[in-house]
Structure 1
Amino acid sequence: MNATASSTHDRPLGVLVGFDGSEHAQHALAYAAAEAGRRGMALTVATASVVPTMFYATLGSLAVPADAEIAKNSAEGVLDEARRLLHEYRGPVEYLAEVGDAAGALVELSRRAQLAVVGTRGRGGFTGRVLGSVSVALASHAHCPAIVVSERLNSDGPITVAIEGSHVNDRVLHEAAAIASMRGTSLDIVTALPPFEELTFWYPDAALDVDLVGVRQGQIEEDLRGQAETLRTTFPGLEVTAVVEVGSPQTILAGRTRSSQLTVLGTRGRGAVASVLLGSVSRSVLFHAEGPVMIVPSE
């Protein structure tokens, strides 16, 4: 899964990580560095400082140096901390000090990255954004797959990828399979089938056959077995399992994050509002995750 010449040219930033010096950002930095090393890509560390909106009554009261320069210097100071933390890292690293909103800066930089990484929350340019603004904004709007890193990591678990029924996002499956193959671990494909009770609660008089749940579960499992076989052919040696679990997708997938190295989801599934960038399931899993979550753009 090393970068090809064309992909490196098109996405020269490689693995992009947002860093603000916080403890969560330090976890994200270590995670991104390891990922860049595995992929044979450049590592780009970016931070952002917002220029404060100030009012000066006279020219004599203007700040010296200018506010923009102060913000830039602040960002450079944060990057110095990243340099210290990466002093033993031997791969290529680029450091970017941006002036402006952190979420907007990372989303824009993601146009030139192959993967973006951010912690669950931070401070400074990322301040006051509990999961939350920067993390959710990047997951929602990134132009490349984005990983939100929590404090809890499980290095021995599988890669879990969630798909909705027979609605298969090939890019999501391929990203998850490629990562599992690269890390030498197994891939678990999971579909959460809403329980029968959810439908009968809203339509109590509907003449529904409870056996339909089992029938539908079997149909989806057959579809998933086909997807699993295709992935085994594409990634020889990859162990792939596929399962359909009946229950709340949010609860099932959030639970999976506890034991998975990484849980991979698309930005949206079969929700009623197709224009929503980050679907309700993906957003809920991000908020309740107990392990790293990757969001893969639908397009």
Structure 2
Amino acid sequence: MRNADERRSESVNGAIIAGVDGSDQGMGAVVWAAREAERRKLPLHLVTAYTVPVFAASSLDAGYATVDDSVIREGAEAVLKQAITKASTYDVDLHARIETGDASGVLLELSAEAAMMVVGSRGKGGFVGRLLGSVSSALPAHAKCPTVVVPLCAASRLPDADVDVPNGHDNDGPDQSPVRPVVTVGVDGSEHARMASLEAAELATRRGLPLEVLCTLPPFTGSLAWVPAPLDREALHEDLLEQLEAGKQWLSSHFPDLEISLKLLDGPPVELLIEESRTVEILVLGTRGRGGFAGMLLGSTSQGVLHHAKGPVMIVPDKEDPRLADRDKFGPMVSDDFGG
């Protein structure tokens, strides 16, 4: 560690931010973020937040008219100190800060300047626990920078994390599945998914790992249920493979040294994504799409994947990128009426 301090006004421009709440999940996020910051040679900011209880602040009892938040703040300081100790073992430019206010609001505001946000999938309620609890997927869906969510079972596999997954956690004990050294990105042909593909390719390049481009063909439902499945699904497979190959050539034009493979699976997207997250280095998704993958990330897929993933999941926000402009030069793209 080069330095660690608390500066509320300190800029987080271009830094990696880890949300801290004192839970095992949060500590796993700190370790994941520290390793990534060291790899990318970026500053690491540890952030914890707390709010003064509303019932105390609004009480008419004179004894509560002035709220003393020193006890709450001391707890936040203890949590932050523990995280600083853990992150200090990595060669990173380390900073720490305590904020007052809603946890998700604090992180969303900081995301406008940060290079990446990293949080645990569940916490103790005061910080990261709020993100996927009462405010659901606010951070992954609305952050201005990529957000990585690290579940407890994935944190337990990280060196130096010192966290354990108790048997029965989420009806699943510690995950002993071997992790393949590969970055996987879920795509559905949307521009949002293409943005996620670019971010995943950059991540894979930095880590010296191959990139796996994954697409699913969900079961027919609703008005499409009457379609002769064997014939139509075979045609859809051929069309999708052609489109995936065109997308692969596009990615290769921007990342010529990156090894890229394609994977097309049949079945429910959420289930397949969760299972895929069990055995890959990291799963990357966009914030929106056509319905098969990222298009549902503000709804049921967000809850399903982010709450039950077995490995780190990166959610990539939509943004302008000049590399998106030449995708159509490499072949067919998924048509507007395709989706789950």
> Is residue 250 of structure 2 the alignment partner of residue 230 of structure 1?
yes
Which digits, 9 at most, give the CA deviation of each residue in 1:277-298, with x for residues without a partner?
A: 7253343211221111011113
Which digits, 9 at most, give the CA deviation of each residue in 1:199-250, with x for residues without a partner?
A: 3x6566x454631211111111111112212222322321100122121111
Higher alpha-carbon deviation: 231-240 or 184-193: 231-240
Contact 1:28 1:118 in 2 (8 A): yes
Contact 1:268 1:279 in 2 (8 A): no
Structure 1 residue 176, shift from structure 2 partner: 0.4
Structure 1 residue 167, shift from structure 2 partner: 5.8
Partners of 2:290 and 2:229 in 1: how far apart?
Answer: 23
Partners of 1:166 and 1:147 in 2: how far apart?
Answer: 21
Which residue of 2 is the match for residue 52 of structure 1?
Answer: 53
| 1:135 to 1:31, Cα distance in 2 relative to 1, 3 A | farther
| 1:30 to 1:16, Cα distance in 2 relative to 1, 3 A | same
Structure 2, unaligned runs of 5 or more: 1-10, 158-177, 320-340
Contact 2:20 2:128 in 1 (8 A): no
| 1:218 to 1:139, Cα distance in 2 relative to 1, 3 A | same
Partners of 1:278 and 1:71 in 2: how far apart?
Answer: 32
Which residue of 2 is the match for residue 3 of structure 1?
Answer: none
> Is residue 126 of structure 2 the alignment partner of residue 138 of structure 1?
no
Which residue of 1 is the match for residue 217 of structure 2?
Answer: 193
Contact 1:267 1:279 in 2 (8 A): no
Contact 2:137 2:302 in 1 (8 A): no
Which digits, 9 at most, give the CA deviation of each residue in 1:84-128, with x for residues without a partner?
A: 212322211111101112122111111111100000111152275
Partners of 2:224 and 2:213 in 1: how far apart?
Answer: 31
Contact 1:44 1:96 in 2 (8 A): yes
1:262 is matched with which residue: 282, 300, 320? 282
Which residue of 2 is the match for residue 241 of structure 1?
Answer: 261
Contact 1:75 1:98 in 2 (8 A): no
Which residue of 1 is the match for residue 23 of structure 2?
Answer: 22
Partners of 2:284 and 2:129 in 1: how far apart?
Answer: 26
Instruction: Normalising by structure 1, report the TM-score.
Output: 0.84
Which digits, 9 at most, give the CA deviation of each residue in 1:146-188, with x for residues without a partner?
A: 0100132566431110011466633111100111111111111
Partners of 1:33 and 1:127 in 2: how far apart?
Answer: 17
| 1:30 to 1:155, Cα distance in 2 relative to 1, 3 A | farther
Contact 1:14 1:43 in 2 (8 A): yes
CA RMSD, aligned part only?
A: 2.8
Higher alpha-carbon deviation: 211-220 or 149-158: 149-158
Corresponding letter in the other structure for 2:262: A
Instruction: Tell me the percent identity.
Output: 38
Contact 1:72 1:98 in 2 (8 A): no
| 1:45 to 1:134, Cα distance in 2 relative to 1, 3 A | farther
Partners of 1:129 and 1:218 in 2: how far apart?
Answer: 43
Which residue of 1 is the match for residue 270 of structure 2?
Answer: 250
Which residue of 1 is the match for residue 122 of structure 2?
Answer: 121
Higher alpha-carbon deviation: 131-140 or 73-82: 131-140
**Secondary structure, counterpart of 2:247 in structure 1:** helix
Alignment of structure 1 residues 94-173 onto 2, 5 Å: 94-123=95-124, 125-126=126-127, 129=130, 131-133=132-134, 136-150=137-151, 151-152=153-154, 153=157, 156-165=180-189, 169-173=193-197
Structure 1 residue 270, shift from structure 2 partner: 1.3
> Is residue 239 of structure 2 the alignment partner of residue 219 of structure 1?
yes
Structure 1 residue 61, shift from structure 2 partner: 5.5
| 1:175 to 1:157, Cα distance in 2 relative to 1, 3 A | same
Corresponding letter in the other structure for 1:100: G
Aligned residues: 282
Partners of 2:117 and 2:131 in 1: how far apart?
Answer: 18
Partners of 1:101 and 1:207 in 2: how far apart?
Answer: 49
Alignment of structure 1 residues 50-89 onto 2, 5 Å: 50-53=51-54, 54=56, 55-58=59-62, 62=65, 66-89=67-90
Contact 1:103 1:133 in 2 (8 A): no
> Is residue 43 of structure 2 the alignment partner of residue 39 of structure 1?
no
| 1:162 to 1:240, Cα distance in 2 relative to 1, 3 A | same
Which residue of 2 is the match for residue 184 of structure 1?
Answer: 208
